[in-house]
Amino acid sequence: MRRLLALTVAVAALAAGAGCSAERAGLDRAAPAGSTGPGATTGTGGGSPAPAGGNAPAVCAAAQQATGTAVHTYVAELGMMLGAVGANDSATAEAARKRAEAALTGWRAALRQQATRATDPQLRTLLTDLASEVAVLGTDVDAIDEEELDRLQNRLDQLC
């Protein structure tokens, strides 16, 4: 049960980061050229990568919306599944497992769809990587690589 709590915190951070990155993207694009304020980036290679270009705002928003919805459903269903397993209710556990897997399937499909829409090559690659990572997620809580998800989310935050 502690593993579910840790996963819930990690996935909630992932979803929260997705929402915040859209706000940061607006700040980054609002920084005037030559600015040294919070939205400024340097051309020296010492800072964070520049935000993705092209249709990135729309693609990022759609990917972040899909992430938020899927993560909420996934975590809720995993909790229900684990509770049902603890209560020896195999029918409820199986139904929750199927709903959790359906949330993952929808999330992966949404990320792939946004990857095909993305005109920025870095964003396209990142969304494809995220979709691949989501594809290996399942309902085995011990097998979820929270660090990899966090690393990919950090990259998405930088681009979006």
Q: What is the pLDDT of residues 27-82, one digit of tens each?
A: 333 333 333 333 333 333 445 566 778 898 999 999 999 999 999 999 999 999 99
Q: Does residue 124 have a pLDDT over 80?
A: yes
Residue 36 maps to a domain = no
Q: Does residue 118 have a pLDDT over 60?
A: yes
pTM surpassing 0.75?
no
Range of the structural domain that residue 100 is part of: 2-30+53-159
Counting the structural domains of the chain, the total is 1
Q: What is the pLDDT of residue 22?
A: 41
Residue 112 maps to a domain = yes
Q: What percentage of the chain reaches a pLDDT higher than 90? A: 46
Q: What is the pLDDT of residue 137?
A: 82
- Non-local (6+) Cβ contacts of 15 within 8 A are 67, 68, 71, 72
Q: Exposed, middle or buried: residue 123 (CB in 10 Å: 0-12, 13-18, 19+)?
A: buried
Residue 41 maps to a domain = no
Residue 46 maps to a domain = no
